A = this chain, B = another copy of it.
Amino acid sequence: MAREPRWDRVLTSAARLFAEDGFAATSVRAVAERARLTKAGLYYHIKEKEDLLFRICEHSIQSILDGARAALAAESDPAARLKALIRNHCGFFFRHPHNLTVLNRDMGALTGAQREEIRALEMAYLDLVRGVFRDGQKRGRLKKLDPTAAAFALLGVLNSFDRWYDPAGAVTPDALVEHVETIFLDGVAEERRK
């Protein structure tokens, strides 16, 4: 019953510590202390530290993927679908800023079956993003760019927020979402180049 909320707290604590100190430098004991568990209590949930990294990555990508699927189900217009993807991905970052740092920097420490599982989730998300570009192109509403290059360009913007964005700074979260929508959909030039 109380297991799920406590497990959420474990993952949130672990993501924060991994983001701040790095995966390699963080001990299971430090995660247990932050999550207000004994080390033995934490080892009830996991076999080794890599399991925490795996669960953070899995939870993050699965959440972004589930959110994107739900958002896309509600939109049929290609521009609106692209905006829905942007809004969903940004929303996850605003709620879980540390998770993005862990995904960007520490995911490479996963091995074997865990690595494969995370790669499959990443690929599912990439396919979803590419599909939005492809579909919009077929319908004549988006420019005929390579869907993989377009998808990775968008993901490059969205996955770099943890390197610089401060929600207490000059750009509010809502304004950040609007910036990405404007840049991606309309470009930064005042008039379109010929």
Contact = CB atoms under 8 A, between A and B. Distances in A.
Contact of A150 (B79, B156, B188): B188
Interface in A124-170: 133, 136, 140-143, 145-146, 148-150, 152-153, 155-160, 163-165, 170
A92 interface: no
Nearest to A183: B153
Contacts of A160: 152-153, 155-156, 159-160
Contacts of A164: 148, 152
Contacts of A94: none
A142 B187 CA distance: 9
Contact of A188 (B133, B176, B179, B193): B133
A82 interface: yes
A189 B132 CA distance: 12
B163 A146 contact: no
A182 to B, nearest CB: 7
A8 interface: no
Contacts of A4: none
Given A188-B185, A190-B141, A146 B171 contact: yes
Interface of A: 22, 24, 79, 82, 105, 108, 133, 136, 140-143, 145-146, 148-150, 152-153, 155-160, 163-165, 170-171, 175-176, 179-180, 182-193
Given A140-B190, A141-B189, A185-B189, 10 more contacts: A79-B189, A105-B108, A136-B188, A143-B182, A146-B179, A152-B163, A159-B160, A160-B160, A183-B187, A186-B193
